[in-house]
Chains A and B, each alone.
Chain A
Amino acid sequence: MIPILLIILASTFFPGIITRIKAIHTGRKGPGIFQPWIDIFRLLRKGSVYSTSSSYVFQIGAVIYAATIFVAALFIPFEEKGTLFSFQGDFVVFAYLLGLGRFFLIISALDVSSGFEGMGANREALYSLLIEPSFFILMGSLAMFTGHGSFHDIFEALHYGSYFSIIIGIIAGFVFANITLIETSRSPIDDPLTHLELTMVHEVIVLDHSGFDLGLIKLANNIKFVLFSTLSANCMIPQSISLGWRMLMFIVLQICFAAGIGYFETYRARNKMAMNPQYILSINAVSVILIFVVIIIKNNL
């Protein structure tokens, strides 16, 4: 239960911290730390407007998107006993579950016959297609390094012994952090806090969702963010120390990550849209470096 509680806890504060940091650094008073959650609960209680050109797909899309992310959260490891689902190749199921949700998000965007949402759908499909290999290269090379095939075993074995695992942990953490940013379309891929029509990936895909559906999508997005940042943190937290220390480290890392994103989004403009594929491919290149690092280390040891 602990990983799920931690994920819920982190996803409660994560978006709030980012907006707070951004508000402070842009010299605004800004909303409170709980504002994102207040927004979600308000949306969940609201009525909805449906486009007349939409069909049943639009009605089921948001729910399926949210459900896949909730189920994917059950795969994230943290404590020794493992998680609800832990078996060899569980990260494949994790990635494909997210893929299922994405499929429905994309087709429900295409359902409203708007050029804007078509654009968002297209970009979501393209970027996720480009970033997916780096997730698998990363997990594949971690599996190669540790000799295990599931999230839990990989992260547990990563911190046994050698100092080399620190190098690998850092590179892996870096790539995971970038995957987080790309999967959730934060800066530098996209800036979610610009005006709706200018936010070209994740926000534009949900332009026509409203009420309960929009609330679910926002909730799911927050959780998705924390899923990836937890994986990133798992690469850095040693498993040998006691659970309490690890939880503390986890919370500190999450806060640092959120704050980092806040700083980053304040001081750096997002990429030009046409540059994004190159950026994503460069992340893939970094993860390929990881394979070589693993090969070099394994053959020297």
Chain B
Amino acid sequence: MEVLLFKIALVLTFTIFFIPKKWKHLFILGLQVLTIYASSSLAIRVLSSHSTLALPFDLDTWSGPMLLVIDELSAFFILVINLICFVGLIYAGGYLKPYLSKKRSVFISLHLFSFLWLHASMILVTSFRDGIAFLLAWELMSLFSFILVIFDADKETVLKTGINYLLQMHLGFALIMLGFIVTGIQTGEMSFDALQLYFSKFNNLPLFLLFFAGFGIKAGFIPVHTWLPRAHPAAPSHVSGIMSGVMIKMGIYGIFRVITYLQTDLLQIGLMVLFFSLLSGILGVLMAIMQHDLKKLLAYHSIENIGIIGMGLAMGIIGKATGDSFLSILGFGGALLHTLNHALFKSMLFFAAGNIFHATHQINMDHLGGLAKGMRWTSMIFLIGALAISGLPPFNGFISEFFIYKGTLNHITTSDFTFSIIGISTILGLVLIGGLCVFCFTKAFGLTFLGSRRSVKTQEAKEVPPIMLLPMILLIVAILFIGFFPGKAGQLILDILQGTSLAVNNDQLPSIISDFSNIGFVNIILVLTLGGLFVLRAWQQKRVTIAHGPTWGCGYTAGDHRHQYTPTSYADSLQQLADPLLLFKKDFKKFEPLEIFPPPRTFHTTSKDLIEEKTILSWVHSIVTTLPKLGFAQTGRINHYLIYPLLFIIILGLLTYLNVI
């Protein structure tokens, strides 16, 4: 029944091309609700009955009929996808409005069509276990997200970015396919379930590495992250929101799925995942601090958060390897909860960035500032998102990080010193990321919304229509729920883990839950204290005179907005410390000692991605510069071209004669 409904909704999407422009959005929204109803009811059925659901999809690939297999893990991901995509599509209604008059009808149709198909393909990705069907859904997801990214294809850069994205996705696709092919050759079946057999017979590390690389490209682990900071700023905000919120999580889903089948080599795998996660986490946030473009900053934060999720996974695997079930439950639980949390706050932050773009047509922080006065609601939404992503209580980001802290802490108090060192470095990584995140988001929020405007445009910024604000309320409710009832959220996550093979024993679960409830209690005390102080302050302010005046300039009265900190100057102190890890260039002319009347000067900064430059672009560059040198052979004369095969035959003959080949 639900499967049929799902398919009907998908078939009906084709009619969008014949619907008047005005009604297209509403039409797709209606179909999306159908899809969400169908998939969520299946997911909820799975979660409430703690059983795996297998339904025929009534379509055949050449490896047999497609089968939807929904277990707790899939159900969890389906619910996350549904929530974020639903919010994203409502938001798109407001965001696309200015484009309705500019763009041709067919482009709008194609965009909305792809949106729903992306949503549906992600649901399918989480429910297919068979290799062919999975790869098919995976490919659909990449294709439709590509169409969504190049919405602004009139700009050449956007198209170029889109093609870059498509290529990188197919690299990942090839790696995953290779993984399935290896499994297929060795076990006779290309599916996730066949991994069970494969991993029990062969070395686990190489095949895991293959899958990790393939899924890692989608998830955005450093060093295969380079598509992320390009594609997210190029895409429209509702698309960046769902791409960063849920689509990159499909990579995490894939890794998670493969981990459930792992049997040996656990320690090496865990350490490897930990290494790449720490790299992604720390470099991701450092790169984020250097950005001027708000959306690019958020894109780098996605990499950082993927790093945190990866740390959770690594702790889970190491816990399994060392037989510490407490660590493994909390590690996997933290990774899973952070997946949800990141989906909530990151999509919200991208939508808020979309609001800024909608209101000011500007996303460069150098030109923004003082938006909190005109766009009060957007600024509050962004602030909540910023606090949540920095992992600060009482919001949800803290809860998932605390999962990992708690597991690791328990681990270092009980294990020997090698593992203690691993644990301490994980804690240290999380702390550094947390601190850098606070640095980055005080910058992002403070310089965008606070202070005074840095350019003429931003003063006129008006609040966006309610349709671009209301969907975020749903996300805020979820964020606050997890923040204030961490016991309930933790229970839910641990229930989901029980359904996979990852959580082994559960006699310690009640103590974990009670500790999480304690955090909820702390948060409530915090809110009460805040409330008390605010009441006191309001009472005090009523009785005294309140004056308004210019900012205290320490005696200097001609201060203006140009004296404020800029993104570059705010990041400068950190940039000097972290210089070896960044490719940050300042381009300016120094003052000469005897320069009495200095002419006007310019100051320009560029920030490049160190990993991208060193691991990818340097190779590409050397190939691009050496290959043209072979051009001398291409003379354009047919007699030369006839000589080449002759030479080839002679060389072959010689080599055979000399017994080389």
Pick the residue among A89, A102, A114 that contacts B564 (CB under 8 A): A114
Any chain A CB within 8 A of the CB of B625? Answer: no
Number of A-B residue pairs having CB atoms within 8 Å of each other in the complex = 245
Any chain B CB within 8 A of the CB of A289? Answer: no
**B-side contacts of A93, CB under 8 Å:** 393, 402, 519, 522
Which of B398, B427, B445, B522 has most A Cβ within 10 Å? B522
Question: Which one of B15-23, B297-305, B411-419 is at the A interface?
Answer: B411-419
**B-side contacts of A118, CB under 8 Å:** 564-565, 569-570
Docked pose: A69 CA to B446 CA in angstroms: 22
Any chain B CB within 8 A of the CB of A268? Answer: no
Could you tell me if A87 and B545 are in contact, using CB atoms closer than 8 angstroms? no
Any chain A CB within 8 A of the CB of B438? Answer: yes
Any chain A CB within 8 A of the CB of B272? Answer: no
Q: Which residues 63-113 in A have Cβ within 8 Å of B in the complex?
A: 63-64, 66-68, 70-71, 74, 84-85, 87-89, 92-93, 95-97, 99-100, 102-103, 106-107, 110-113
Pick the residue among A47, A89, A95, A136 that contacts B544 (CB under 8 A): A47
**B-side contacts of A48, CB under 8 Å:** 541, 544, 546-547
Could you tell me if B438 and A129 are in contact, using CB atoms closer than 8 angstroms? yes
Any chain A CB within 8 A of the CB of B26? Answer: no
**A-side contacts of B553, CB under 8 Å:** 114, 116
Pick the residue among A67, A122, A126 that contacts B533 (CB under 8 A): A67
Any chain A CB within 8 A of the CB of B451? Answer: yes
Chain A's closest residue to B436 (CB) is: A129
Given contacts A116-B554, A212-B537, contact A99 B565 (CB under 8 A): no
Question: Which one of A144-152, A184-192, A222-230, A251-259 is at the B interface?
Answer: A144-152
Pick the residue among A107, A128, A147, A299 that contacts B414 (CB under 8 A): A147
Could you tell me if A89 and B409 are in contact, using CB atoms closer than 8 angstroms? yes
Docked pose: A121 CA to B8 CA in angstroms: 56
Any chain B CB within 8 A of the CB of A39? Answer: no
Any chain A CB within 8 A of the CB of B573? Answer: yes
**A-side contacts of B521, CB under 8 Å:** 85
Any chain B CB within 8 A of the CB of A137? Answer: yes
Any chain A CB within 8 A of the CB of B55? Answer: no
Which of B376, B537, B546 has most A Cβ within 10 Å? B537
Chain A's closest residue to B571 (CB) is: A122
Given contacts A55-B450, A110-B450, A111-B450, contact A44 B540 (CB under 8 A): yes
**A-side contacts of B490, CB under 8 Å:** none
Chain A's closest residue to B440 (CB) is: A125
A66 to chain B, nearest CB (A): 6
Any chain B CB within 8 A of the CB of A207? Answer: yes
Could you tell me if B451 and A122 are in contact, using CB atoms closer than 8 angstroms? no
Given contacts A57-B372, A113-B451, A211-B544, contact A88 B406 (CB under 8 A): yes
Could you tell me if A99 and B406 are in contact, using CB atoms closer than 8 angstroms? no
Any chain A CB within 8 A of the CB of B390? Answer: yes
Complex interface bits, A127-139 against B, C-beta within 8 A gives 1, otherwise 0: 0111011001100
**A-side contacts of B616, CB under 8 Å:** none
Q: Is the interface of B mostly helix, strand, loop or mixed?
A: helix
Q: Which residues 397-439 in B have Cβ within 8 Å of A in the complex?
A: 398, 402, 405-406, 409-410, 412-414, 417, 420-421, 423-424, 427-428, 431-432, 434-436, 438-439
B137 to chain A, nearest CB (A): 39
Question: Which one of B45-53, B126-134, B195-203, B524-532 is at the A interface?
Answer: B524-532
Docked pose: A129 CA to B570 CA in angstroms: 14
Could you tell me if B559 and A212 are in contact, using CB atoms closer than 8 angstroms? no
Any chain B CB within 8 A of the CB of A8? Answer: no
Docked pose: A49 CA to B552 CA in angstroms: 10
Q: Which of B's residues lie within 8 Å of A, judged by CB?
A: 369-370, 372-373, 376, 379, 383, 387, 390-393, 398, 402, 405-406, 409-410, 412-414, 417, 420-421, 423-424, 427-428, 431-432, 434-436, 438-439, 441-442, 445-447, 449-452, 514-515, 518-519, 521-522, 525-526, 529-530, 533-534, 537, 540-541, 544-554, 559, 561, 563-565, 569-570, 573-574, 577
8 extra interface residue pairs, beta carbon distance < 8 Å, beyond A88-B409, A126-B439, A149-B410: A47-B546, A48-B541, A64-B530, A103-B390, A110-B450, A114-B551, A115-B564, A144-B424
A–B Cβ pairs within 8 angstroms, 17 of them: A51-B551, A63-B533, A67-B526, A93-B522, A102-B438, A110-B442, A110-B450, A113-B370, A125-B439, A128-B435, A129-B436, A133-B432, A136-B427, A137-B428, A140-B423, A140-B427, A216-B533
Q: Which of A's residues lie within 8 Å of B, judged by CB?
A: 44-57, 60, 63-64, 66-68, 70-71, 74, 84-85, 87-89, 92-93, 95-97, 99-100, 102-103, 106-107, 110-116, 118-119, 121-123, 125-126, 128-130, 132-133, 136-137, 140-141, 143-144, 146-149, 196-197, 207-208, 211-213, 216, 277, 291, 295, 298-299
